[in-house]
Amino acid sequence: MNAEKLSTADRQVTFENVSKFYGDVLGVNRVNLSIPPGITGLVGPNGSGKTTLMNLMVGLIRPSRGRVSVFGLGPDDPEGLFRLVGYAAQYDSFPPGLTGYQFVESYLRVHGFSARESEALAWKAIERVNLVEAAGRKVAGYSKGMRQRIRLAQALSHEPSVLVLDEPLNGLDPMARAEAIALFRELADGGLHVIVSSHILHEVDLISDQVVLIHGGYIVAEGDIGDVRDEMEEDHPVQVLVRCDRPSLLASRVFEADHVVEARILEDGQGLLVRTRDADSFHLALNRIVLENGLAVDAVAPADSDVNAVYQYLIGSNGEKQ
Amino acid sequence: MAVYERNYGRYQGELTPSWSRFMILPRYAFKDVFDSKGFLIFLVLSCVLPFAGLILIYLHHNLAALKFMNLPLEQLQQALPINATFFRRGLDIQSWLCFLLALSVGPSLVAPDLRNNGLPLYLSRPFSRTEYVLGKMMVLIALMSFLTWIPGLLLFFFQAYLEGAGWLAANLRIGVALFVASWTWILVVSLVALAISAWVKWKPVARVSLLIVFFVLTGFARALNEALDTWWGYLFSLSTAMDNVRAFLFGTALDDSHMAQPVWSAWLTLAVGCALSLWLLSRRIRAYEVVR
């Protein structure tokens, strides 16, 4: 199958009513998902089913019920599926005694690439993760960050269309994180599906085009984080921070609107924190109030529209502390 | 909504045939094995017996050499005839060297991958569990072949070359027996060694387990047979079963007649041993592990 020739609608990773049980243990249940190109952040506490979802995606396990397909291919076509998918598991696992280059090259050979092709692709991938100088050294002597990068290289070395990365930012220093995130962005902008699981919510927020929140084996939310947040407005009013010169006047005016449930002046007296059930209407009303009263506004920013807030509202704990 | 430009191209070229990919696995295992001086010494020593056999066959056909050594041909033919027993006994000894090899190499084949959760690395590629096991087994199969049927058949054909085509036709059974008995033992020892490597993470414990399977169970079988005055205790002994199968294939008598058992029961023991090892491997060689 030529993935390049598929339409955008066909280039999806889909889960149709998928359940996976390990004997009596629930992995994931009744998952319906459609993951488009771009970076997708998979977020959930430990044991929530993230790795099960990833293993299902890459064909390592089969669903107990339902159907998983990557660009229309399932695990019954391993040759096709594994060409499309690149996977870096969360485990820090390397065959003993191999150098970074040998690690990447040997798995390319397992993939079915010729010796010459494997060599070229291995160097290309190693170059992408900036490990050329260390490629001749044994992986056992690598730092944790280097090990993460070489695992990333082996996952993308066969040039997959879907890259599934389990906790790929663990152990990376800030510089390496920035480089990895830039690489994910570059790959995603090139049309690749990059599916990343992480506990570090602000990073997921920073890099993801869409998120999938999973808890207890169930998908609790999915899609663009802004859209997810909008859908939660009724139960969890949106918080908007407005920095302005006369916050008390602004507070009295915004309370005229029904959708505003709370307005709190900041401790420094230089702004207002508003909770509203209709963010769009609030922003329109704010424009009007500012113009009518000649308020000097320094900044208007959402205060709880990031993944961290959504995660806390839906799952009830701070992911970073998991 | 992000606008995605398709600028990421996938590899579209030819791939190697899928049946050949399992042979990638032993590459670095061989390198590790041959890096060990101890193993190299063992390998050289294991060639001593085939080399001695080669000299013996040569002497049987070189009267000048015998005369030089002041050794009459009749005496040599009586003491060490080149027949089925000669080849079988040679294979007996080489087979135990195979066991020592499995004891040395076997425990480190699967256990490290399982200990480090390394199986997803293999199985997230177009590579099946069967191919993984086959790849790992290739290490043992190649090394054991070097000790058993390859030198055995070389000696067999050398003898046939010196004796003439008549001997080859009359003793074809020896050649077949060398090949079949070697492969049967290689399969049994490799599968048991891999199964133990898959279930026992510590190398010393894995080695002791292998010794238990091949020696302690034989002792248990003998004790059972003595106590109950029967033969079916040998159903638990893979090594005795192999001795019986080897004797049957070569058409010779067992050195120790107390160890005789019906041939069908010996094949049954070996088949059950292999099936049990495969079952144990299939239970363990999985891409994921569920922690209950």
Q: Report if residue B167 sits inside a domain.
A: yes
pLDDT of residue B188: 97
Q: Report if residue B31 sits inside a domain.
A: no
pLDDT of residue B266: 95
Split into its structural domains, chain B has a count of: 1
pLDDT of residue A4: 55
Domain with B254, as residue range(s), is 37-284
Q: pLDDT tens digits for B142-184?
A: 999 999 999 999 999 999 999 888 899 999 999 999 999 999 9
Say yes or no to pLDDT of B124 above 50: yes
Q: Report if residue B15 sits inside a domain.
A: no
Q: Report if residue B92 sits inside a domain.
A: yes
pLDDT of residue A270: 86
Instruction: Please answer whether residues B6 and B118 qualify as being in contact, where contact means their C-beta atoms are separated by less than 8 angstroms.
Output: no
Rounded CA separation B53/B62 (Å): 14
Determine what percent of chain A is predicted with pLDDT higher than 90.
21
Of all residues in chain A, the one with the smallest CA distance to B131 is: A110
Say yes or no to pLDDT of A309 above 80: no
SS3 of residue A99 by DSSP: strand
Domains belonging to chain A, first-starting first, are 3-225 (3.40.50.300), 237-303 (3.30.70.100)
**pLDDT averaged over chain B?**
88
Q: pLDDT tens digits for A198-224?
A: 777 777 777 888 888 888 888 888 887
Rounded CA separation B6/B239 (Å): 62
Taking the CA of residue B192 and the nearest CA in chain A, the distance in Å comes to 22
pLDDT of residue A5: 58
Q: Is A55–B287 a contact, with Cβ atoms under 8 angstroms apart?
A: yes
Please state the rounded mean pLDDT for residues A301-307: 73
Please state the rounded mean pLDDT for residues A276-296: 85
pLDDT band at B8; cut points 50, 70, 90: low
Q: Report if residue B160 sits inside a domain.
A: yes
Q: Report if residue B27 sits inside a domain.
A: no
Q: Report if residue B61 sits inside a domain.
A: yes
Rounded CA separation A261/A238 (Å): 10
pLDDT of residue B16: 83
Residue from A110, A164, A210 to probe the interface with B (highest B Cβ count within 10 Å): A110
Please state the rounded mean pLDDT for residues A263-292: 85
How far the first Cα of chain B sits from its last, in Å, is 42
What pairs with residue A196 in β-bridges? A41, A165
Residues of B with CB under 8 A from a CB of A: 2, 4-18, 21, 24-25, 27-28, 31-32, 112-113, 116-118, 120-128, 287-288, 290, 292
Instruction: Please answer whether residues B120 and A89 qualify as being in contact, where contact means their C-beta atoms are separated by less than 8 angstroms.
Output: yes
Q: Report if residue B30 sits inside a domain.
A: no
Q: Is B290–A38 a contact, with Cβ atoms under 8 angstroms apart?
A: no
Find the angle CA(B252)-CA(B255)-CA(B260) to the nearest 5 degrees. 80
pLDDT of residue A322: 36
Pick from A59, A191, A209: CB nearest B5: A191
**pLDDT averaged over chain A?**
84
Q: Does A316 touch chain B (CB under 8 A)?
A: no
DSSP string, A237-305: PEEEEEEES-HHHHHHHHTTSTTEEEEEE-TTSSEEEEEES-HHHHHHHHHHHHHHHT--EEEEEESS-
Q: pLDDT tens digits for A62-102?
A: 899 999 999 888 888 877 888 889 998 888 778 778 899 99
